Structure 1
Amino acid sequence: MPLALLALAVGAFGIGTTEFVMMGLLPQVAADLGVSIPSAGHLISAYALGVVVGAPLLAAVTARMERRRVLLWLMGLFIVGNGLSALAPDHTWLLAARFLSGLPHGAFFGVGSVVATTLVAPEKRARSVAMMLTGLTVANIVGVPVGTLLGQELGWRATFGAVCLIGVAAVAALALLVPREERTARTAAPVGLRGEMAALRSVSVWLVLATTVVGGSALFSAFSYITPMLTDAAGYAEASVTLVLSLFGVGATIGNLVGGRLADRSPRGTIFAGLATMTVTLLLYPVLMETRAGGAAAVLMLGVAGFTLGAPLQLMVMTRAASAPSLASSANQAAFNLANAGGAWVGGLALAAGLGVTSPAPVGAVLAVLGLGVAGLSLLADRREHRTGRVVATHLPSPDGAPARAE
């Protein structure tokens, strides 16, 4: 794999760290700024809102820029947002800084996915996307635990300062390793904002985005409440939860890499297999959470099943919006963050109804089945487009302007 993919993974590692580390720092932030933990929790929502707003917006307004330059500007905005977070004098300032930090998130993964696919042969494009996303999954194994520990020992501001340094390293790696785009016939006349938005009129694109929202909600319905499941059901001490949760990152890394390899053979088949595996896994949660060993296995299995979907969904939405892959793949990242919020809300409804501490998992299984249904509708929509003569591509155009291969 090209070294440029390593540069993209470094940027993904920094983004993943700053996104999830706030969950471990909430007590320190709340105490330092004099707010309640629920109020401090709004900092997580502010970041997610920044992702949802920034992903399609920044991808669209930078449509005419060289993609390497876009990545550098996005990482620059990432550094500024985290620097302002480290310097925040009060809760309001930190809310604004977290929103700013979230703005480049989706656009970076969207544009980065397109860049990654141009660096490899067509039969390895899903694997190239998976290699970039590995930075995000490894952040859950290394970046978040280390960042949480750093915040506990030196204060939460030190954590965001360290994230800024990761951003600087990512900028250096991107500048050195990612090649400049050749000004070919394809890149010399970018589609612009109107062309990017027109690509989102496709029913096929929206059905893939809907699969991301529903399938992702299944994942987060359970994962949002994994800590009380581990402590109240599996019997883990609170001090042990962080170590057990690192298994989720391990599973996510495995699922991401396996999903990328499988998606190069059959993106749609990988999506169906991932959603089916997630359904079975979530249905087993009430039984697995009866023991510590079962709880650890459940966390690992959820990571594998959930992140098997990342690369194939990203690749499918890009190929179904081949004239505007940056905007489409960025929109897919916004959809994933909507799934984060939606899944947590649905899982919370099960808890509020008194259905038990593990009840969000079976609810997530129902969502996974719905995701299978949406994926099936996507298949039918593609077949109908074939019958009407509108060919759906399975590969993006090559950097030299060669046409996409038809499905």
Structure 2
Amino acid sequence: MPLPLYLLALAVFAMGTSEFMLAGLLPDIASDLGVTVGTAGMLTSAFAIGMIVGAPLMAALARNWPGRAGLLGFVLVFLAAHAVGAATSNFPVLFATRVVAALANAGFLAVALTTAAALVPADRKGRALAVLLSGTTVATIAGVPGGSLLGTLLGWRATFWAVSALCLPAAIGILTGLPARGVRKDVTGGPALRAELAQLKSARLMLVMLLGALVNAATFASFTFLAPVVTDTAGLGELWIPVVLSLFGAGSFTGVTVAGRLSDRRPGLVMAVCGPSLLIGWPALAMLADKPTALLVLVFAQGALSFALGSTLITRVLYEAAGAPTMAGSYATAALNIGAAVGPLIAATALGSEAGNLGPLWASGLLVAASLLVAFPSRGVLTAGRNSELLQ
């Protein structure tokens, strides 16, 4: 894989750390800024909404920029937003910085996805996407637990400054490692924006976006609420929370890496293996969560299966949106983040059911079941070629 892909993955690592780190910082932020924890939780919602809205908006804004200029600009805005957030003592200002950071993150990821696809031959988009998304999975392994620890030791502001610092080598790498022009095919001679938006009328594209959103919703429904399962259901100490989250991240890294070698040529195989396995795995985790060993094994497995299937579906979005070279990445980003926003909301509702802490795990199983019910009658959409069969 080309070196620029790994430079882009570094920026994705910094942004992924920022997206997920607030879960362990909200009490500290609330206390420092004089707001309730519930009010501080609005920072998470602001980021998710900014990502959903920002993906197509920022991609449209940057579609006629050279790829390097757009990527560098988004990274620098992201850096500045975190620096302002770290320095402010005003909650509305911090809230605004999260919206700005989300817009920059969404724009970067939308452009980076199409850039990554353009850096490799047409039949290796899945592997390129795996390298790019490895930045997010490594963030869940190291960045999020590290940010939580740094926040505990030095305060939440230190974590924001650390994310800003991570953006510096990423910006330098983009500036020196990517050509000024020629990375994307959108600077001149590409289709008009209206033609790219018209791709959304494709039933095939909308289907794979829906499936990607459902699978990602299932993933984040449980990931968001793993902490009480670890401490209350399994009876483990609080220090086990980052261990379990890191295990999930390690599984996600494994899943993305393995699927990256299959998603271009054998997407049907990934679907056939991961879909039913996830459908069994989430309820199994709910039933065995009180057994620490089973919990640790299943968390790793579910992380691997979730990200293998999710990344394969997002690769399919890029294939199906080939007629929208500058907007395809935004369609994939929007699908991912709709799932990331909706999943925790469904899981929060499930927490109030008789299942209690295990409710989100059952909700994830239902979301996977819904995705399989949608996918089965239209399974040919998930293949590499438009006239291929799903199971090759």
CA distance in 2, matches of 1:3, 1:21: 27
CA distance in 1, matches of 2:68, 2:45: 29
Task: Tell whether the 8 Å contact from 2:115 to 2:184 is kept in structure 1 after alignment.
Answer: no
Unaligned stretches of 5+ residues in structure 2: none
CA distance in 1, matches of 2:286, 2:18: 31
Matched, 1:208 2:217: no
Matched, 1:278 2:291: no
Task: Tell whether the 8 Å contact from 2:64 to 2:188 is kept in structure 1 after alignment.
Answer: no
Q: CA deviation at 1:276?
A: 2.0
Counterparts in 2 of 1:59 and 1:377: CA distance versus 1, 3 Å: farther
**Residue 191 (structure 2) aligns with:** 191
Task: Tell whether the 8 Å contact from 1:127 to 1:311 is kept in structure 2 after alignment.
Answer: no
**Residue 227 (structure 2) aligns with:** 227
**Residue 94 (structure 1) aligns with:** 94
Q: TM-score, normalised by structure 1?
A: 0.89
CA distance in 1, matches of 2:49, 2:5: 27
Task: Tell whether the 8 Å contact from 1:64 to 1:190 is kept in structure 2 after alignment.
Answer: no
TM-superposition CA deviations, 1:177-228 (whole Å, max 9, x none): 1234439997521224222212222111111111011111222222222111
SS of equivalent to 1:308: helix
Q: CA deviation at 1:73?
A: 1.4
Q: CA deviation at 1:39?
A: 1.1
Map 1:87-236 to 2 at 5 A. Answer: 87-182=87-182, 188-236=188-236
Map 1:38-117 to 2 at 5 A. Answer: 38-117=38-117
Coordinate RMSD, CA, aligned:
2.3
**Residue 357 (structure 2) aligns with:** 357
Matched, 1:374 2:374: yes
Counterparts in 2 of 1:378 and 1:58: CA distance versus 1, 3 Å: farther
CA distance in 1, matches of 2:33, 2:346: 30
**Residue 34 (structure 1) aligns with:** 34
CA distance in 1, matches of 2:184, 2:387: 21
Q: TM-score, normalised by structure 2?
A: 0.92
Q: Between the two proteins, what is the percent identity of the paired residues?
A: 35
Counterparts in 2 of 1:185 and 1:346: CA distance versus 1, 3 Å: closer
Deviates more, 1:237-246 or 1:9-18: 237-246
Task: Tell whether the 8 Å contact from 1:63 to 1:191 is kept in structure 2 after alignment.
Answer: no
**Residue 344 (structure 1) aligns with:** 344
CA distance in 2, matches of 1:185, 1:337: 25
Deviates more, 1:104-113 or 1:239-248: 104-113
Matched, 1:304 2:320: no
Map 1:221-300 to 2 at 5 A. Answer: 221-300=221-300
SS of equivalent to 2:355: coil
Counterparts in 2 of 1:232 and 1:184: CA distance versus 1, 3 Å: closer
Q: CA deviation at 1:380?
A: 5.5
Counterparts in 2 of 1:115 and 1:378: CA distance versus 1, 3 Å: farther
TM-superposition CA deviations, 1:106-132 (whole Å, max 9, x none): 332222122112222333321111001
Aligned length, in residue pairs: 388
**Residue 16 (structure 1) aligns with:** 16
Q: In structure 2, what residue type is equivalent to 1:175?
A: L
Q: In structure 2, what residue type is equivalent to 1:215?
A: V
CA distance in 2, matches of 1:364, 1:184: 37
Q: CA deviation at 1:310?
A: 3.5
Task: Tell whether the 8 Å contact from 2:63 to 2:186 is kept in structure 1 after alignment.
Answer: no
Task: Tell whether the 8 Å contact from 1:268 to 1:312 is kept in structure 2 after alignment.
Answer: no
CA distance in 1, matches of 2:337, 2:183: 34
Task: Tell whether the 8 Å contact from 2:208 to 2:382 is kept in structure 1 after alignment.
Answer: no
CA distance in 1, matches of 2:119, 2:222: 36
Unaligned stretches of 5+ residues in structure 1: 384-390, 395-406
CA distance in 2, matches of 1:95, 1:315: 32
